[in-house]
Structure 1
Amino acid sequence: MVDVVLITGASEGIGRATAFAFARQGYRLSLAARTPETLRQTAIDLEQSLNAEVLAIPTDVTQPEQVQSLVERTLDRYGHIDCLINNAGICLSGPFLQTTPDHWQQLMAVNFWGYIHTIRAVLPHMLKRKQGQIVNVGSIGGKMPLPHMSAYCASKYAVSGLTEALRLELKPQGIHVIGVHPGIVNSDFLKRAIFLDELQSATSANDHDASDTGSPAREQMEQALESFLVSQPEEVATAIWEAVRESKSEVVVGMAQWAVGAYALFPGLIGPILRDASR
């Protein structure tokens, strides 16, 4: 029986690279993302380059009924789901007081509740089979604080807590839960990231093209993407595949492991360095 993997946020970046990594290992794929065009192109690329079997289903993970349909259509097509990879997510940067309740809800709806919806939809099937793997792609921001990213970190710390608690609960029932935490990833996530200073500048200038207003936070992020600490999507995809293959519990990807380790050992030292670097 050929294994089946369901990947959310699969049309670009880490999700796309992960789809290719699992296709190379012979997995049949069910891919979900919000944008039909990029998702369709990813499916075409997989079919043409790797002769992969792909089911591509446009899905908004914040909508439980769409997620339930995604899982049902995957089961109808393949009969089973061996691995769920929760990867859909968005990034938001800005001071706490500028982060409105609507911003918080938007971020948590994708980064946290999106994972809840997919797990709730897939888990009954895995429990019935008494086997399965669930991979929650978190972030370095779920292992250590990042300045001006309180909402993002809160969503990713929530994912970390969810992952660890589910691992304890589900392991006796044959289901393995894995946390994979990348650091800064050189992917196209930046175009979807929300920078509050950029939004405010656009509003004050009465200009809807925020890219022309200039954003120190965006510029800082772009500079960070040029540092040696950056991982490529393919590196994260390889880490996900190895974690699944070896049934690891948690992986911090690339150079991010050194930052997380340093913060765990010396929080009083690393915290101020992070704060001062963001000024």
Structure 2
Amino acid sequence: MDPREQDVAEVMGFDRLPTHIVDKRVADLLDLSGKKAIVTGAGGDGLGQAIANRLGGCGADVALIGRTFEKVERRAKEVEQRWGVKAVPILADLSDWDQVHRAVRESHDALGGLDIMVNNPVMVHAGPFEAFTKAQIDMTVHGSLTMLMYCAHAALEYLLPQGSGKIINIGAVGGRIQQRGLVVYNSCKAGVVGFTRNLAHEMAPRGVNVLGVAPGIMIKPDMRQRILDPQSDQDFAARNAIMEAITTQVQLGRVSLPEEVANMVAYLASEAADYMCGQTIDVAGGQWMN
């Protein structure tokens, strides 16, 4: 072969094209059997447990990390019983650097490897910016952005040496739009979009892919009850804000289930999304600022 032709083939990456997928169905590419995944914030009734269930349903073994062991233990048992995969509960306060790295290490050892890291931070404070205290600003920044960086850092200790794996960061559509009462939170979620893009740029040449998902208005069971039967001024304010957003911003005209967002996480974790890199995908019913 002419050296110049060989250079072209190398630059084009012809030898790295996934030609084995050509004759497969998309459903086959979504199979995560044999993969090892970590999901943080997975003990409650929201997105974390939905992601763990979706990944388990696709065949992955899953470690569920949370601050309350009884909750992640219950969710892990549900994943195991429902899907027949291995699911392990891991206790950790993800605001603590050392606990994060310990939890990822324990997850890796319990599962026998790590292929997928889903960073699902769960801490948030809302309200008028001028009413925020230093503690509330610090808590929101730490819980919405810093903890996510801690978890990605811990995962890379295993993904980089093997030269493969995916990190999926959970942001929010608020990171792309402006919303009253969410100045600090949305600013952090804009940071998640930037972190995802920049980390992907740094890690892709080393075999680790970084992607993001930006949910819109998700309704958990307890939140649904508070909206239907508000018991406090905060509940009324939340209901009014959500109703306004649904009627003026969300093109599909409804809220979402956590499982609908988890669908995108499972897709990005799969081979079907292997040519995506650095993007943060909105799953928000077309929510935008009017």
Q: Give the TM interval when normalised to the shorter protein.
A: 0.7 to 0.9
Aligned to 1:8: 40
Q: CA deviation at 1:188?
A: 5.0
Q: Are residues 1:214 and 2:233 paired? A: yes
Q: In structure 1, the residue corresponding to 2:256 is in which secondary structure?
A: coil
After TM superposition, the structure 1 = structure 2 runs for residues 92-131 of structure 1, keeping only pairs within 5 Å, are 92-131=125-164
8 Å Cα contact 2:97/2:150 also seen in 1 = yes
Asked if the contact 1:10/1:88 (under 8 Å) is kept, the reply is no
**Counterparts of 1:46 and 1:66 in 2: how far apart (Å)?**
24
The amino acid across from 2:287 in the alignment is A
Distance 1:188 1:157, change over 3 A: farther
> For the residues of structure 1 that align with 2:37 and 2:241, how far apart are their CA atoms?
32
Alignment partner, residue 32 of structure 1: 65
Q: Distance in 2 between matches of 1:24 and 1:213?
A: 38
Q: Which residue of 1 aligns with 2:15?
A: none
- Find the partner of 1:19 among 34, 38, 52: 52
**Residue in 2 that maps onto 1:259:** 287
Query: 1-side partners of 2:159 and 2:222: how far apart?
Result: 31
2:67, 2:93 within 8 Å by CA — same for their partners in 1?
yes
- Gaps of at least 5 residues in structure 1 are 194-210, 264-269, 271-279
Pairwise CA distance, 1:124: 2.1
SS of residue matched to 1:92? coil
Partner of 2:197: 164
Counterparts of 1:161 and 1:223 in 2: how far apart (Å)? 29
Written as runs of structure 1 = structure 2, the 5 A alignment for 1:28-177 is 28-177=61-210
Deviation at 1:259, TM superposition (A): 2.8
1:250 match: 280
Q: Secondary structure at the match of 2:89?
A: strand
What's the CA shift string for 1:2-21, capped at 9, x where partnerless?
A: 11000001123111111111
Q: Give the Cα–Cα distance (whole angstroms) in 1 for the partners of residues 255 and 124 of structure 2.
A: 16
Equivalent in the alignment of 2:259: 234
Aligned partners of 1:13 and 1:189 also within 8 Å: no
Bigger radius of gyration among the two: 2
Q: State the aligned residue count.
A: 242
How far, CA to CA, are the matches of 1:45 and 1:224 in structure 2? 36
| Offset at residue 223 of structure 1 (A) | 4.0
Q: Which letter does structure 2 place at the counterpart of 1:81?
A: L
**Separation in 1, partners of 2:60, 2:94:** 22
- Which residue does 2:215 correspond to in 1? 182
Return the TM-score normalized by structure 1.
Answer: 0.80
Letter in 2 for 1:233: P
- In structure 2, relative to structure 1, the CA distance for the partners of 1:55 and 1:14 (3 Å cut) is same
Question: What is the identity, as a one-letter code, of the residue corresponding to 1:242?
Answer: Y
- Percent identity for Structure 1 against Structure 2: 26
Q: Sort the Cα spacing of 1:66 and 1:190 in 2 relative to 1 into closer, same or farther, 3 A.
A: farther
Q: CA deviation at 1:98?
A: 0.3
Change (3 A) 1:188 1:59: farther
Q: Residue 217 of structure 1: CA displacement? A: 2.3
- Measure, in 1, the Cα distance between the counterparts of 2:197 and 2:96: 24
Report the Cα distance in structure 2 between the residues aligned to 1:43 and 1:225, rounded to whole angstroms.
34
- Equivalent-residue separation in structure 1 for 2:192 and 2:257 (angstroms): 22
Equivalent pair of 1:243/1:250 in contact (CA under 8 Å):
no
